[in-house]
Amino acid sequence: MEKKTVAEAVQYQEEHFTKRVLFQKGDSLVFVLNFMPGQQLPVHKHPGAEVYLLALKGKGSIQVNGADYAFVEGDILHIAGDESFAYANTSDQPASLHVVLSKTPSPMYAKEI
C-alpha cells in the first residue's frame, strides 16, 4: 500500500500550470494539474489510454472534440484516448484537476512540469 494526500500535489506557479505526479504504477498514472487564472492546457490526445478528470478545486472550461463545456468543482469526466481535449481556468481563482490516465501510452506522459 502507498498513501499520499492530494493536498501535497496542489502547487501553483504564476509562470505556467503545474503537473504533480502522485502515482505511476504499471501502465497507469495519477496526477494533479494546477492552474492559476487564465492558464490553460492545450488541445491534445492520449492515444491508447483512458483519461478520467475530476475538478478538485475551482472552475473552468473544458473542450472535448471542439465542443466547450463548463467544468466545475466536483464534476468528473471520462475522455477516450482518441478524443482531443483542452482545459482553461476561466475564473479568477486557482483551479486543480485530479487526473487518472490508464494505459499510459509512453513515459513522456509521466513527466512533471
The Cα–Cα gap between 67 and 64 comes to 5
The Cα–Cα gap between 113 and 97 comes to 14
Mean pLDDT across the chain, nearest whole number?
Answer: 94
Q: Which residue has the cell 481563482?
A: 93
Does the structure show a pLDDT above 90 at 106?
no
Written as nine digits, the cell of 3 is 498513501
What residue ranges define each of the domains in the chain, with the CATH number in brackets? 18-104 (2.60.120.10)
Of 97, 39, 40, residue with least CA distance to 72: 97
The Cα–Cα gap between 88 and 70 comes to 10
Q: Give 39-64 pLDDT, tens digit per residue.
A: 999 999 999 899 999 999 999 999 99
Q: What share of the chain is helix, strand, coil (3-state, %, to 5)?
A: 5, 50, 40
Q: Which residue has the cell 513515459?
A: 107
Q: State the virtual CA torsion across 9, 61, 88, 107 in degrees, nearest 10.
A: 60
Span 8-37, average pLDDT: 96
